[in-house]
A and B are shown apart, each in its own frame.
Chain A
Amino acid sequence: MRDPAALPRLLLTLLALALLWPGLSLSELNLGALFEPGNARTMGQFLGDFWPPAHEADFLALLWRATLETLAIATAGMTLALLLALPAGLLASRALSLSALYRGGRPAWWGALLRWPVRGLLIVLRSVPEIVWALLFVRAVGLGPTAGVLAIAITYAGMLGKVYAEIFESVDGGPARALLGAGASRLAAFCYGVLPNAAGEMLSYSVYRWECAIRASVVMGFVGAGGLGQQMDLSMRMFAGEEVAAMLLVFLVLVLLADQLSRLLRSRLT
């Protein structure tokens, strides 16, 4: 009996090999580069400086300020994102559609026409990585935390807006529809019909995203958007291993604390 899987497996293996060769050459993968004498020596010295991490008083003061700056960038950025995402989510959601009242929950075509641009905008805002926005803003408004705040505000507005819209639609639409049917304004229907049930999920997701925003703020610092990341980039360029080590440690602790805080908030407030 012939093995029916023989031919597909052979073809798949050949395909994989055919793709592997150009893949390796395009990515220029070269593990040996890590061990070349010049590189290895510099890197070895750099890593050797990691212990003990830098702890002079003025460096620690700089580190403290940079950490606060990162926290502030994340929080301020999320605040702006919230302010943008709430109306965007309302516009993009079908939960408050008047036309849907008379069609069993599905909006009319002109209702969809109004919603799709908002959804499209949210998709574009989300799909461009936040660091690209950060780079653009750094060029537009200069180095420093402002660029970071704006980048987070825009990208996370996209993410939050989409998720808020989904939350509004997933909540039981009965109360809202009843209010709309009784003649209440859309805003009133939202505040009294949708918000009470949706608030918990919204808060939970937003706090989770805030955690991500902290990591993103550090990463954006590498293109000049301020905070811990920018300092780390400077120290790396100067090959100051002890400073980089200290900053990595602070970053890891920061992420850990943010995780704990977010768990606490999510369990208490939802």
Chain B
Amino acid sequence: MSRLLNYLLLGALLLAMVASFRFLQIDFVGLISPDALEQMGDYAAGFLAPDLSRTYLEELGHGALQTLAMSAIGTLLAALAGLLLALPAAGRWGLVAEQAARLLLNALRAIPELVWAALMVLAAGLGPNAGTLALALHTAGVLGRLFAEALENTPAEPAEAVRLAGGGRVAAFVYGTLPGVWPQLLAYSLYRWENNIRMASVLGFVGAGGLGQMLYMSLSLFQHAQAASVILAMLLLVLAVDAFSAWSRQRWLSR
């Protein structure tokens, strides 16, 4: 009985796959016709000679630094906001606050970064500010949830002992709880920063600055040599940040 159900499920999956192609009415024949292929070939050829002139490399450098700054500041803001929201979400201020905080964190997380960026462009105007805010909002949701779990799993005795000796709540948290969860918070934040670099590169597509905005403009103006350079710059940036993050995690967090 269960096997039959499994086969039915598989059959349904295959049916869904075929149905999706028919629904979209993709003209595959048209795609691989000689004309179309030639057109795509011409389109692709423009990318094979990236613009590496000095002036453009400077622009690229500025764009890359802007993207890096967006991702770093956005992640930093998100870590602070996430920690702040993680306190109620871990149940420290009562049940009502816990549910409200969790709902807020889920909402922040569920909306993709690009959608946040589009909203922030509406709210704060074009430019990297919108991108930074968008990353901060989305990542606060992700980090807040991770931080809340870390807080729930950390022993409560050190902070309680400080309270019992007359210390205030903030002091008890900073001296008793934070030293225990600090490595985890740092690890999660670094991990999200790696992801945010990739996202920061593309938020510019909706006008949020950085390399993405440069790529969007050069594609719109059919400047394919410049576009190719931007894509290369994006790849390099991602590789560099991945390497740095791996090194710093190994150096600071494996002790």
Touch between A and B in complex, CB under 8 Å? yes
Which residue of B6, B43, B74, B124 contacts A27 across the interface (Cβ within 8 Å)? B74
Bound state CA distance, A223 and B17, in angstroms?
Answer: 24
Contact size range, A: 35 or more
Q: Is B10 an interface residue (CB 8 A)?
A: yes
Bound state CA distance, A10 and B219, in angstroms?
Answer: 46
| Contact present for B31 and A146 (CB under 8 Å) | yes
| Contact present for A43 and B122 (CB under 8 Å) | yes
Q: Is B88 an interface residue (CB 8 A)?
A: no
Bound state CA distance, A139 and B74, in angstroms?
Answer: 30
Bound state CA distance, A24 and B68, in angstroms?
Answer: 11
| Contact present for A22 and B118 (CB under 8 Å) | no
Instruction: List residues of B (1-21) whose CB comes within 8 Å of A's CBs.
Output: 5-6, 9-10, 13, 16-17, 19-21
Q: Which of B16, B27, B72, B114 has the most CB of A within 10 A?
A: B114
List residues of chain B with CB within 8 A of the CB of A182: none
Known: A127-B235, A141-B31. A33 touches B129 (CB 8 A): yes
Known: A135-B216, A149-B26, A269-B10. A33 touches B124 (CB 8 A): yes
Q: Is A14 an interface residue (CB 8 A)?
A: no
List residues of chain A with CB within 8 A of the CB of B202: 129, 131-132
List residues of chain A with CB within 8 A of the CB of B198: 129
| Contact present for A27 and B129 (CB under 8 Å) | yes
Q: Is B234 an interface residue (CB 8 A)?
A: yes
Nearest CB of chain A from residue B198's CB, rounded to whole Å: 6
List residues of chain A with CB within 8 A of the CB of B128: 26-28
Nearest CB of chain A from residue B42's CB, rounded to whole Å: 10
Q: Is B132 an interface residue (CB 8 A)?
A: yes
Q: Is B80 an interface residue (CB 8 A)?
A: no
Say whether chain A's binding surface is mostly helix, strand, loop, or mixed. helix
Contact flags A239-270 to B (C-beta < 8 A → 1, else 0): 10000000010011001000000000100110
Q: Is B201 an interface residue (CB 8 A)?
A: yes
Closest 5 A-B residue pairs measured CB to CB?
Answer: A26-B69, A72-B20, A75-B20, A33-B124, A27-B69
- Residues of B at the A interface (CB closer than 8 Å) are 5-6, 9-10, 13, 16-17, 19-21, 23-24, 26-27, 31, 36, 39-40, 43, 65-66, 68-70, 72-74, 77, 110-112, 114-115, 118-119, 122-125, 127-129, 131-133, 198-199, 201-202, 205-206, 209, 215-216, 219, 231, 234-235, 238-239
- Residues of A at the B interface (CB closer than 8 Å) are 19, 22-24, 26-31, 33-34, 39, 42-43, 46, 68-69, 71-73, 75-76, 78-79, 124, 127-129, 131-132, 135-136, 139-141, 145-146, 149, 215, 218-219, 222-223, 232-233, 236, 239, 248, 251-252, 255, 265, 268-269
Q: A69-B23, A135-B205 are in contact. List 17 more A-B contacts (CB 8 A).
A: A23-B72, A24-B69, A26-B69, A27-B129, A27-B131, A31-B133, A72-B19, A79-B20, A128-B235, A132-B234, A136-B219, A140-B39, A145-B24, A146-B27, A222-B115, A232-B118, A233-B118
